[in-house]
Amino acid sequence: MSGRARVRARGMARSPSAAEAGRTRAPPSPTSVDTGNNEASSTSSFVGTSRKSQSCQDVVSSGDAGCTFTERGGKIRRDFKDLSVCTREKLAHVRDCKRGSSGVPVKLVTNLFSLDLPLDWQLYQYHVAYVPDIESRRLRIALLYSHKVLSNKAKAFDGVVLFLSQKLEAKVTELSSETSRGDTVRMTLTLTGELPASSPVCTQVFSIIFRKILKKLAMYQIGRNFYKPSEPVEIPQHKLSLWPGFAISVSQFESRLLFTADVSYKVLRNETVLEFMAGICQETGMSCFTQMCEKQLLGLIVLTRYNNKTYRIDDIDWSVKPTHTFRKKDGTEVTYVDYYKQQYDITISDLNQPVLVSLLKSKRNDSTEARVAHLIPELCFLTGLTRQATSDFQLMKAVAGETRLSPMGRQQRLARLADDIQRNKDARFELETWGLHFGCQMSLTGRVLPSEKLLMQDLVCQPGSAAEWSKDMRNCKILSARSLNKWLIICSNRDEKVTEDFLHCLRRVGSSMGFNVDYPKTIKVQENPAAFLSALQRHVDPNVQLVMCILPSYQKSYYDSIKKYLSSVCPVPSQCALTRTLNRQGMAMSIATRIAMQMACKLGGELWAVEIPLKSLMVVGIDVCKDEFNKGMVVVGFVASTNPGITRWFSRCILQRATTDVADCLKVFMTGALNRWHRHNRGLPARVVVYRDGVGDGQLQTLLEYEVPQLLSSVTEASSNTSAKLSVIVVRKKCIPRFFTEGNRSVQNPPLGTVVDSEATRPEWYDFYLISQAAGQGTVTPTHYNVIYDDNGLKPDHMQRLTFKLCHLYYNWPGLISIPAPCQYAHKLTFLVAQSIHKEPSLELANSLFYL
């Protein structure tokens, strides 16, 4: 949160009239009997419907300027926004067909279900006006719904806009209803639109209908997903429980409307904010306690224990205690302690805790005053996993162990959901009144791309399994390696023997792979981070090729201080390893092999290659991630190949102040990469293909308007005559569809290299799915590729195959990975900077994969 916003929050919090105890209140409306809590009311189906149709308004209003509802709140879902970015129509070569041809066809089962509508189906949109005007949305809804004209019709209404699946007789319909006070209210329904089923507005109305249905199936909505709290998975060791459920959506796919469902788990943490703060206090001590609390807590989403609502922590007010009073809406003053006792029968035990401050989103545009809620840390739970938790290996292993589902397990859950929807009486009734038919699970045909051969120094090898080829590479020589002559090993006094043994193995495996490792200078130090750092400062000079550190413990400060010093202050490639790892029984050779490969890469070596038919092609990977410490900063990583074989890389990284994930420095990086290419290859590349990862929902338009032009201008400016052709592809690791192959009365993950470019794709995009990684016991997630810009005009088949080839080239893993190697390199680089260095790495390291 920005300093200014915090001041604002603080200022508000102190103004007594604005202080509320964790609740928002609507102004009293005539017949409202709500005590002021803002939970879903008894008329939850109304509220449920209207909330969603409110979000439709933005879409509708864009084509319907005459309506007044545009001012009312409600945001369109971000991923729906991306769907309205039609990039395919500008790409002439794929306008008619975006399908590839090579490979073996394979029949795939999906998690997509068809939704059928009558051919002439339309959605009718009405504007509803009230005389006299009524402010209360709930009353507006109740009055309209109670009218007999609408009583048996399928409808969705938010207080202003009404959607019906059947047209009313007249364009303008006058109705009147009586309030319980006996006042007559006239309602005028004016037809404002007739929308075909393919309209985005309809898609949103369908989503509303399905949410209603899933609630009928006793599922619990959190965010956009639905969970079954009655069947929790518990992991007490990590203070977590998991709720199984589904992420669902309804949208228009390549040729038809489809319902999609994917198994999802909600992670709930059994840890209050107060306990979290106590933990911080114990770790950091009182001196920087408040500072650390703010650093770690601001921006997090918490869930209140009593009213089931989530809030963002915008500030912590250390001056307010639970014993202080606040003013309720009715003007009476009450202490927080008494309020929670009276209202919720909850006793606050810690009377010295501060209060959390959350800015409330204003529901009505006319309220000029931002409102805040005061929350008691003891009554707030942390939600989801913090980044710290996601980097906890054991925790993630435990979560993965519980949530991992085999394709068969997943398929069974999907089948059960579909069955529940089809059997539930209320659900069926709801679908029928709208004229919808919930169909069967869809199958489609994909293709398995031909497998790739690996090019080693003196042979071409067809790996036994593309998932992992370390065995195939045993005794093969890597493509090229510089010999390691001048290098250092720093280890603790105790670890001399381990180091010696390791060195012996390293030299042995090195020589068999063609990587010559000389004896290093070994420096023994005390067992603390400062001793390691001072050894670096004393012994490392620019002539040193590489520094290896054998670390005695897991303290992160060892790693961070070493990486920071050797990436920016004194740029020399470094390799860290834990004593514990080197000591693993029976693993010495394989660990030494992996370390040797990494070291070779860090010195600029090349391990293997695949055949690239395009000559003079540069591939680029871009990733963006948030800095671990400075929440306002993002780290942008840019990695470009510098030779036609795609085995050498140029890597840049920058930290920038930004509130969005959109890269701001691409022109400089791209120009740098082209210069580098020019120097190595005496000319510019004919083609540049950029893979952009780390794109959030709703950013597609910005990418198109902001990033593509940056890349394009540096490509055109690089040459005065014919400039390189550019393609930009958005890579998404998270996507809705899942694919399975059927066989033996069970379903499995599809083979590696499976491409899907029909049915599950989107009509407005040039996109495809590729499965390029093995999933072990779980279900594989396909990677989605969306070509948003394409001067190269490659055939879709070539684009798909190129992408698949690039998934073979990540040198940290002898096997296929889920995304093209340049993206994974960019990811690894940004991760190192965001987690450990927090600084731009030195340009001198740009030519080696120093961050592996």
Report, in Å, the least distance between residue 120 CB and another protein.
28
135 binds another protein (CB under 8 A): no
Report, in Å, the least distance between residue 248 CB and another protein.
17
| DSSP track, 526-542 | -SSHHHHHHHHHHH--T
| DSSP track, 233-302 | EEEGGGTEEEEEEEEEEEEE-SSSEEEEEEEEEEEEEEEEHHHHHHHHHHHH-STTHHHHHHHHHTT-EE
28 binds another protein (CB under 8 A): yes
| Whole-number Cα distances in Å, 575 to 354, 505, 569, 670 | 44, 16, 16, 28
Report, in Å, the least distance between residue 394 CB and another protein.
4
Closest to another protein by CB, 395 vs 634, is 395
Report, in Å, the least distance between residue 99 CB and another protein.
28
Among 55, 296, 714, 818, binds another protein (CB under 8 A): 818
Determine the interface stretch with another protein among 94-102, 516-524, 536-544, 590-598 (rule: CB under 8 A).
590-598
- Footprint of another protein on 696-725 (CB under 8 A): none
Tell me how many residues contact another protein (CB under 8 A): 99
- Footprint of another protein on 553-572 (CB under 8 A): 554-556, 559
Report, in Å, the least distance between residue 265 CB and another protein.
14
289 binds another protein (CB under 8 A): no
31 binds another protein (CB under 8 A): yes
Torsion from C-alpha of 578, 581, 583, 587, nearest 10 degrees: -150
Task: Compute the distance between CA of residue 745 and CA of residue 662 in angstroms, rounded to an integer.
Answer: 46
Determine the interface stretch with another protein among 100-108, 212-220, 291-299, 791-799 (rule: CB under 8 A).
212-220
Report, in Å, the least distance between residue 153 CB and another protein.
14
Report, in Å, the least distance between residue 451 CB and another protein.
19
Among 112, 375, 448, 551, binds another protein (CB under 8 A): 551
| Whole-number Cα distances in Å, 278 to 294, 345, 441, 629 | 13, 24, 50, 20
Among 57, 304, 647, 761, binds another protein (CB under 8 A): 304
Determine the interface stretch with another protein among 291-299, 388-396, 431-439, 721-729 (rule: CB under 8 A).
388-396
Among 41, 184, 462, 465, binds another protein (CB under 8 A): 41
Report, in Å, the least distance between residue 565 CB and another protein.
16
- Footprint of another protein on 424-443 (CB under 8 A): 426
Determine the interface stretch with another protein among 7-15, 146-154, 301-309, 698-706 (rule: CB under 8 A).
301-309
Closest to another protein by CB, 19 vs 596, is 596
Closest to another protein by CB, 340 vs 768, is 340
Residue 542 CB-half CA count within 13 A:
5
Task: Compute the distance between CA of residue 557 and CA of residue 565 in angstroms, rounded to an integer.
Answer: 12
Using CA of residue 795, residue 800, residue 801, residue 807, what is the dihedral sign?
Answer: positive
Q: Per 3-state DSSP, what percentage of the chain is helix, strand, and coil (rounded to 5)?
A: 35, 25, 40
Report, in Å, the least distance between residue 602 CB and another protein.
10
Residue tagged 């590479």 (tokens): 473
Using CA of residue 620, residue 625, residue 627, residue 633, what is the dihedral sign?
Answer: positive
- Footprint of another protein on 45-104 (CB under 8 A): 45-48
Report, in Å, the least distance between residue 229 CB and another protein.
5
> Is residue 455 a contact partner of residue 611, using CB atoms and an 8 Å limit?
yes
Closest to another protein by CB, 648 vs 828, is 828
Q: Closest Cα partner for 56 from 81, 83, 74?
A: 74
Report, in Å, the least distance between residue 42 CB and another protein.
4
| Whole-number Cα distances in Å, 350 to 322, 323, 354, 355, 551 | 8, 10, 10, 12, 41
Closest to another protein by CB, 251 vs 598, is 598
Report, in Å, the least distance between residue 668 CB and another protein.
27
306 binds another protein (CB under 8 A): yes
Closest to another protein by CB, 213 vs 257, is 213
Closest to another protein by CB, 603 vs 718, is 603
- Footprint of another protein on 449-478 (CB under 8 A): none
Task: Mention every residue, 6+ apart, whose C-beta is less than 8 A from residue 279.
Answer: none
> Is residue 337 a contact partner of residue 349, using CB atoms and an 8 Å limit?
no
DSSP three-state, residue 748: strand
835 binds another protein (CB under 8 A): yes
Task: Compute the distance between CA of residue 658 and CA of residue 635 in angstroms, rounded to an integer.
Answer: 9
**In this structure, are strands 184-196 and 172-178 parallel, antiparallel, or unpaired?**
antiparallel
Task: Compute the distance between CA of residue 534 and CA of residue 537 in angstroms, rounded to an integer.
Answer: 5
CB atoms within 10 A of CB 777: 12
Report, in Å, the least distance between residue 445 CB and another protein.
27
Closest to another protein by CB, 33 vs 65, is 33
- Footprint of another protein on 165-204 (CB under 8 A): 180-182
> Is residue 640 a contact partner of residue 555, using CB atoms and an 8 Å limit?
no
- Strands (DSSP E) along 749-847, which ranges? 754-756, 766-771, 783-790
Q: Closest Cα partner for 176 from 154, 147, 134?
A: 147
Among 215, 413, 667, 692, binds another protein (CB under 8 A): 215
Determine the interface stretch with another protein among 155-163, 392-400, 533-541, 649-657 (rule: CB under 8 A).
392-400
First to last CA, the chain: 32
- Footprint of another protein on 253-282 (CB under 8 A): 268, 270-271, 274-275, 278-279, 281-282
Task: Compute the distance between CA of residue 75 and CA of residue 428 in angstroms, rounded to an integer.
Answer: 29
Determine the interface stretch with another protein among 43-51, 454-462, 518-526, 699-707 (rule: CB under 8 A).
43-51
Task: Compute the distance between CA of residue 304 and CA of residue 428 in angstroms, rounded to an integer.
Answer: 35
307 binds another protein (CB under 8 A): yes
CA of residue 416 relative to chain centroid, distance: 27
396 binds another protein (CB under 8 A): yes
- Ramachandran bin of 750, using left for φ above 0, alpha for ψ from -120 to 50, beta for the remaining angles: beta
Closest to another protein by CB, 94 vs 591, is 591
CB atoms within 10 A of CB 3: 8
Closest to another protein by CB, 118 vs 279, is 279
Task: Compute the distance between CA of residue 356 and CA of residue 353 in angstroms, rounded to an integer.
Answer: 9
2 binds another protein (CB under 8 A): no
For residue 469, report the phi and psi dihedrals to the nearest 5 degrees: -120, 30
Which positions from 348 to 367 touch another protein by CB under 8 A, shown as an x/- string? -xx-----------------
> Is residue 686 a contact partner of residue 617, using CB atoms and an 8 Å limit?
yes
Determine the interface stretch with another protein among 85-93, 105-113, 156-164, 234-242 (rule: CB under 8 A).
234-242
- Footprint of another protein on 328-347 (CB under 8 A): 328, 330-332, 342-346
Determine the interface stretch with another protein among 123-131, 289-297, 645-653, 821-829 (rule: CB under 8 A).
821-829
Task: Compute the distance between CA of residue 57 and CA of residue 42 in angstroms, rounded to an integer.
Answer: 25
Closest to another protein by CB, 231 vs 705, is 231
Among 26, 228, 232, 583, binds another protein (CB under 8 A): 232
132 binds another protein (CB under 8 A): no
Among 96, 169, 283, 541, binds another protein (CB under 8 A): 283
318 binds another protein (CB under 8 A): no
Closest to another protein by CB, 232 vs 645, is 232
Q: Closest Cα partner for 664 from 688, 687, 639, 633?
A: 633
